[in-house]
Structure 1
Amino acid sequence: MKHWLSFFIIVFGWGSTLHANVQEDRKIPFEVFKDNLKEDSVDNVPIGGNFKPSSSFTERTSPDEFYWIRLDFTGFMDSFSENDSLYLKMNTFDHGSLYYWKANRVTKKTIGYFDKGSESEKIPFENYYSEVKLDADGLIDNRYLYIRAKRITFYESIQNWEFSLLARSSKTNYTLNDLKRLWPYFGFTGLCLVIWLSTLTFYFYLRRPEFLFYSTYILILYFYVCGDILNIYDSIFSENHLLQHWISQSVIQLANVCYGFFFIYYLGTKKDYPKIHSLMYIIMSLIFVPILLIVVLYLFNYMDGLIFINAYFMKAVFALYALGLVYIIFNAKNAQAYFVLPASFSFLISYMLHVYFADPNDGLLLNSRYYLLIGCSFEILIFSVGLNYKVHLEFRRNLALQQDALTEKTKALRAQINPHFIFNALNSLQNLVIKNNTVSSLKYLSNFSRLVRNVLESSFESNAALEMEIKMLNDYLELESLRFDNAFSYEINCQTDIDTASTEIPFMICQPFAENAIIHGLLPKQDGEKRLTIDFNMEGNLLVCTIDDTGVGRQATEDNGPWQQEKKKSRGIEVSKLRLDSSGKTSDNYEIIDKKDSNGNPMGTKVILKLVVEV
Structure 2
Amino acid sequence: MTIDRATKEIPFVYVKVNEQHLELEDLLKHGVTFQSGNPKLNDLQAVYWFKLDFSNELDTLTSQKEWILHPTYFSKAFLYLNENGSVTKRPIGKFNKLDAKTSMIYTPGVKFTKQNLIDQRYLYLEAHLTFPIPNEPRFEYISNSNNRFFTHYYTKEDLNLILPDQIYLGACGIIFLTFLIIYFNILKPEFLFYAFYVVFSAFYLVQDNITLPGYNHFYDHPLGYWSIVISQVLINLFYVLFAIFYLDTKKNYPLLHRAMQGIVVFLILLIATDFWAYISENYVTHYTILNLQRIVMTLFGFFSMVYLLIKFKDRLALFVVTGSFFYMAGALAYLFTINKYHMIIGSMIEIIIFSLGLAYKIKQEHEGSLVLQQEVMSKEICALRAQMNPHFIFNALSSIQHLILNNDKKSALTYLSKFGKLARNVLESSREATVSLTEEIDLLRSYLELESLRFDKAFQYSIEIDGTLDTDSVEIPLMLLQPFAENAIIHGLVGKKKGDKSLFIRILTQGEYHVFEIEDNGVGRFPAKSKKKDTRRKSRGMEITQKRLKMLDKTEENKNTVEIVDKYDTTGNPSGTKVIIRIHNP
For normalisation by structure 1, the TM-score amounts to 0.81
Counterpart of 1:160 in structure 2 is 136
Between 1:211-220 and 1:448-457, the stretch displaced more is 448-457
* Cross-structure match for 2:363: 392
**C-alpha contact 2:58 2:114 (8 A) present in aligned 1:** no
Distance 1:130 1:45, change over 3 A: farther
Q: Which amino acid aligns with 2:44?
A: P
Separation in structure 2 between the aligned mates of residue 460 and residue 34 of structure 1, nearest angstrom: 87
Cα pair 1:347 1:376 within 8 Å, conserved: yes
Distance in 1 separating the partners of 2:503 and 2:534 = 23
1:93–1:112: 8 Å Cα contact kept in structure 2? yes
2:263 equivalent among 275, 283, 296: 283
1:545 aligned to which of 517, 527, 541: 517
Q: Flag the 1:507–1:430 CA change in 2: closer, same or farther, 3 A.
A: farther
Q: Work out the CA distance in 1 between the residues paired with 2:128 and 2:317.
A: 44
What does the per-residue CA deviation read over 1:474-514, in whole Å, with 9 as the maximum and x for residues that have no partner? 44555555566666655444333333344444545555665
Counterpart check, 1:583 vs 2:548: yes
Residue 190 of structure 1: CA displacement? 1.0
Cα deviation, residue 394, structure 1: 2.1
Q: 2:160 aligns with which of 174, 177, 180?
A: 180
Unaligned 5+ runs, structure 2: 551-558
Partners of 2:183 and 2:91 in 1: CA distance: 48
- CA 1:458–1:23: 2 relative to 1, 3 Å: closer
Q: 1:313 is matched with which residue?
A: 293
Once the two structures are TM-superposed, the CA of residue 408 in structure 1 deviates from its matched residue by: 2.2
Secondary structure at the aligned position of 1:74 is classed as coil
The residue identity in structure 1 corresponding to 2:87 is V
1:429 Cα deviation after fit: 1.8
CA contact (8 A) 2:334 2:341 kept: yes
Q: Does 1:104 align with 2:85?
A: yes
Q: Distance in 1 between matches of 2:380 and 2:93?
A: 74
Q: Does 1:209 align with 2:189?
A: yes
Residue 120 to residue 62, structure 1, CA distance change in 2 (3 Å)? farther
SS of 1:99's partner is strand
- TM-score, normalised to structure 2, is 0.85
1:498 aligned to 469, 474, 485, which one?
469
Question: What is the 5 A alignment of 1:63-462?
Answer: 63-115=44-96, 124=103, 131-147=109-125, 149-155=126-132, 160-168=136-144, 169=147, 170-172=150-152, 174-230=154-210, 235=215, 237-238=217-218, 241-358=221-338, 368-462=339-433
Q: 1:35 and 1:260, CA in 2 relative to 1: closer, same or farther beyond 3 A?
A: closer
SS of residue paired to 1:220: helix
Rounded Cα–Cα distance in structure 1 between residues aligned with 2:309 and 2:470: 54
**Which structure would you say has the larger RCO, counting Cα contacts within 8 Å and 6 or more residues apart?**
1
Structure 2 CA distance for partners of 1:58 and 1:175, relative to 1, 3 Å:
closer
The answer to whether the Cα contact below 8 Å between 1:504 and 1:614 also exists between their aligned partners in 2 is no
The 1:237–1:441 alpha-carbon spacing in structure 2 relative to 1, beyond 3 Å, is same
For 1:75, what is the secondary structure of its paired residue?
Answer: coil
* Matched-pair contact (CA < 8 Å) for 1:125–1:229: yes
Match of 2:533 in 1: 567
Equivalent pair of 1:31/1:70 in contact (CA under 8 Å): yes
> What CA distance in whole angstroms lies between the structure 1 residues aligned with 2:213 and 2:451?
85
Farther-moved stretch of structure 1 (471-480 vs 74-83): 471-480
Aligned residue for 2:555? Answer: none
Q: Could you tell me whether the CA contact under 8 Å between 1:249 and 1:310 is conserved in 2?
A: no
Q: Cα offset for 1:82?
A: 1.4
Tell me by how many angstroms 1:461 deviates: 3.9
In 1, Cα distance between equivalents of 2:325 and 2:487: 69
Alignment identity in percent?
33
SS in 2 for 1:54: coil
Query: How far did 1:41 drift?
Result: 3.9
Deviations 1:352-392 (A, max 9, x none): 1111123xxxxxxxxx2121121111111221121112122
Cα distance change on mapping 1:392 and 1:97 into 2, 3 Å = same
C-alpha contact (below 8 Å) 2:105/2:158 kept by paired residues: no
Indicate the larger mover: 247-256 or 498-507. 498-507
Deviation at 1:316, TM superposition (A): 2.5
Amino acid at match of 2:423: V
> What is the CA–CA distance in structure 2 between the aligned matches of 1:613 and 1:92, rounded to whole Å?
69
- What per-residue deviation string (whole Å, max 9, x for no partner) do you get for residues 409-465 of structure 1? 233223333333322222222222222333433443344333433344344445554
Q: Name the residue aligned to 2:553.
A: none
> Is the CA contact 1:343–1:382 (under 8 Å) kept in the aligned structure 2?
yes
Q: Secondary structure at the match of 2:70?
A: strand
Whole-Å separation in 2 of the counterparts to 1:328 and 1:219:
26
The offset of 1:216, in angstroms, is: 0.6
Q: What residue identity is the alignment partner of 1:589?
A: V
- Paired with 1:309 and 1:481, the residues of 2 have a C-alpha distance of 86
Number of aligned residue pairs: give it: 573
Within 2, Cα distance between the matches of 1:104 and 1:554?
A: 104
Q: CA deviation at 1:261?
A: 0.6
Q: What SS does the aligned partner of 2:416 have?
A: helix
Task: Report the CA distance shift for 1:123/1:72 in structure 2 as closer, same or farther (over 3 A).
Answer: farther
Q: 2:13 aligns to what SS in structure 1?
A: strand
For the structure 1 residues 240 and 491, does the alpha-carbon distance in structure 2 shift closer, same or farther, using more than 3 Å as the test?
closer
Contact 1:28–1:71 (CA under 8 A) maintained in structure 2: yes
Aligned residues of 2:440 and 2:478 also touching (Cα < 8 A): yes
**1:422–1:570 Cα change, 3 Å:** farther
> What CA deviation, in whole Å up to 9, does each residue of 1:106-131 have, x standing for no partner?
3332334345x5x588794558x772
Equivalent-residue separation in structure 2 for 1:484 and 1:246 (angstroms): 85
Say which SS state the counterpart of residue 199 (structure 1) adopts. helix
Corresponding residue of 1:11: none
Q: Distance in 1 between matches of 2:191 and 2:416?
A: 64
Q: What is the identity, as a one-letter code, of the residue corresponding to 2:309?
A: I
SS of corresponding position for 2:368: helix
Which stretch has the larger CA shift, 476-485 or 310-319?
Answer: 476-485
Match of 2:554 in 1: none
Aligned 8 A contact 2:492 2:577 in 1:
no
Q: 1:556 to 1:274 in 2, by over 3 A?
A: closer
Report which of the two structures shows the higher radius of gyration computed on alpha carbons.
Answer: 1
Instruction: Tell me, in whole angstroms, the C-alpha distance in 2 between the residues paired with 1:470 and 1:84.
Output: 102
Partner SS state of residue 610, structure 1: strand
**3-state SS in 1 of match to 2:141:** strand
